């Protein structure tokens, strides 16, 4: 075969390969000028399974829907963040959230984290961007709504003292949550029955991924270990009725309803540090209120942005 023929055949093969690849790419959704393809969906599924391995138990159609909604949410948040922050400010918030993330996954160091991601064919830079978006979104919500946070500090302190005084045994709880808001298109009972059915069929963690509007949803609703003195009276009243592995009835809190699962429970004999517990409780109450504002703000943004699904 002469050199000219070899070059021609090579070009034909490249064009054919490119066409095959191009045909395999499909646009699944469009958020204003940003598109989401089937390749984006496949990659997002990998990251979501890394965050919550139990997602492997779901049917592919459910996984694709979760991934699509996750990407739509990410794009909407990113657009709003870009209005408020210049690129140089993004790294200011990342180190703290990365440390928190590694701790939640029991990963010792950034280098270990990168090795784990490489072993799963995942990109550290892409996951970093995803964590940055969440960090900056939380910062944006705080800057917009922190002045609206309301609680009685002295009342919280007294609640801690009363709880500690009245109970002989003290516990830490490992908790997961599903936070959902009322849907105008269906009754509360219909929503609740749908959640219960999903929990029975695919488990609590996967149901959190599908239906929860809390920031914990990507981690299967996992909150982690919480000292009982840091839990509000309303939620603690429901938790006290539960054993390990059990799930609460819906708890009405600002902006929606909370379903709590007790993953584990352990007795603690620590000496109470009232101020430390108070600060923790204030942080949790602040985050709870900010999460409500975050949901309201996000819904408003989504309502006013053009989303086309194909």
pLDDT, residue 227, reads 86
Give every CB contact of residue 3 below 8 A, 6+ residues apart in sequence: none
Backbone phi, psi, residue 249, to 5°: -70, 165
Query: Is residue 64 situated within a structural domain?
Result: yes
Residue at which a domain ends, from 119, 148, 177: 148
Do 144 and 88 share a structural domain? Answer: yes
Q: How many domains does the chain have?
A: 2
Find how far residue 167's CA is from the centre of its chain.
Answer: 34
Do 193 and 137 share a structural domain? Answer: no
At which residue do the structure tokens 């961007």 appear?
A: 129
Do 137 and 58 share a structural domain? Answer: yes
Query: Is residue 219 situated within a structural domain?
Result: yes
Do 158 and 135 share a structural domain? Answer: no
Which among 122, 74, 36 is positioned nearest to 218, based on CA atoms? Answer: 74
Q: Render the chain in DSSP notation, one character per residue.
A: --HHHHHHHHHHHHHHHHHHHHHH--EEEEETTEEEEHHHHHHHHHHHHHH-GGGGGS-HHHHHHHHHHHHHHHHHHHHHHHHH--GGGGGGTHHHHHHHHHHHTT---HHHHHHHHHHTT--HHHHHHHHHHHHHHHHHHHHHHGGG----HHHHHHHHHHHHHH-SSEEEEEEEEEEE---TTS-HHHHHHHHHHHHHHH-HHHHHHHH--STTGGGTTEEEEEEGGGS-HHHHHHHTT--TT-BPPPEEETTEEEEEEEEEEEEE-PPP-HHHHHHHHHHHHHHHHHHHHHHHHHHHHHHTS-EEE-
In the chain, what is the straight-line distance between the N-terminal and C-terminal CA atoms, in Å?
A: 47
Query: Is residue 226 situated within a structural domain?
Result: yes
Query: Is residue 40 situated within a structural domain?
Result: yes
Do 163 and 269 share a structural domain? Answer: yes
Query: Is residue 310 situated within a structural domain?
Result: no
Question: Per-residue pLDDT for the chain (310 aa), expressed as one digit of tens each?
Answer: 555 545 555 554 555 455 445 558 899 999 999 999 999 999 999 999 998 999 998 999 999 999 999 999 999 999 999 888 754 455 556 677 788 888 878 888 889 999 999 999 999 999 988 988 988 898 899 999 999 998 888 888 888 887 777 666 788 999 999 999 877 778 889 999 999 999 999 999 999 999 998 889 988 999 999 988 888 888 888 998 899 999 999 999 877 899 999 999 998 876 678 888 888 888 888 988 898 899 899 999 999 999 999 8
pLDDT, residue 16, reads 46
Query: Is residue 298 situated within a structural domain?
Result: no
Which range of residues forms the domain containing residue 58? 28-148
Query: Is residue 132 situated within a structural domain?
Result: yes
pLDDT, residue 215, reads 84
Q: What is the CATH number of the domain that holds 256?
A: 3.10.50.40
Angstrom distances, CA of residue 132 to CA of 5, 22, 290, 292: 51, 31, 18, 21
Do 204 and 110 share a structural domain? Answer: no
Query: Is residue 213 situated within a structural domain?
Result: yes
């Amino acid at each position: 075969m002469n050199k000219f023929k070899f070059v021609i055949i090579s070009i034909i093969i490249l064009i054919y390969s490119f066409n095959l690849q191009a045909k395999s790419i499909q646009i699944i959704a469009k958020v204003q000028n940003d598109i989401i393809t089937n390749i984006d969906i496949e990659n997002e599924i990998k990251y979501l399974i890394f965050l919550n391995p139990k997602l492997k138990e779901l049917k592919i159609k459910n996984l694709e829907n979760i991934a699509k909604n996750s990407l739509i949410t990410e794009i909407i948040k990113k657009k709003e963040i870009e209005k408020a922050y210049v690129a140089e400010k993004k790294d200011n918030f990342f180190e703290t959230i990365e440390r928190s993330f590694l701790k939640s996954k029991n990963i010792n160091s950034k280098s270990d984290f990168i090795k784990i991601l490489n072993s799963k064919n995942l990109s550290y830079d892409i996951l970093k961007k995803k964590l940055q978006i969440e960090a900056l979104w939380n910062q944006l919500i705080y800057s917009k709504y922190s002045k609206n946070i309301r609680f009685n500090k002295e009342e919280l302190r007294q609640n801690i003292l009363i709880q500690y005084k009245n109970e002989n045994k003290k516990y830490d709880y490992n908790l997961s949550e599903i936070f959902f808001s009322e849907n105008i298109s269906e009754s509360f009972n219909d929503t609740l029955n749908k959640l219960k059915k999903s929990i029975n069929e695919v488990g609590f963690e996967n149901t959190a991924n599908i239906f929860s509007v809390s920031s914990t949803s990507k981690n299967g609703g996992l909150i982690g270990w919480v000292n009982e003195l840091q839990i509000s009276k309303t939620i603690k009243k429901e938790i006290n009725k539960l054993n390990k592995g059990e799930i609460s009835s819906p708890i009405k809190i600002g902006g929606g309803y909370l379903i709590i699962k007790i993953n584990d429970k352990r007795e603690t004999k620590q000496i109470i540090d009232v101020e430390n517990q108070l600060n923790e409780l204030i942080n949790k109450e602040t985050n709870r209120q900010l999460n409500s504002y975050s949901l309201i703000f996000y819904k408003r943004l989504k309502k006013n942005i053009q989303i086309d699904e194909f």
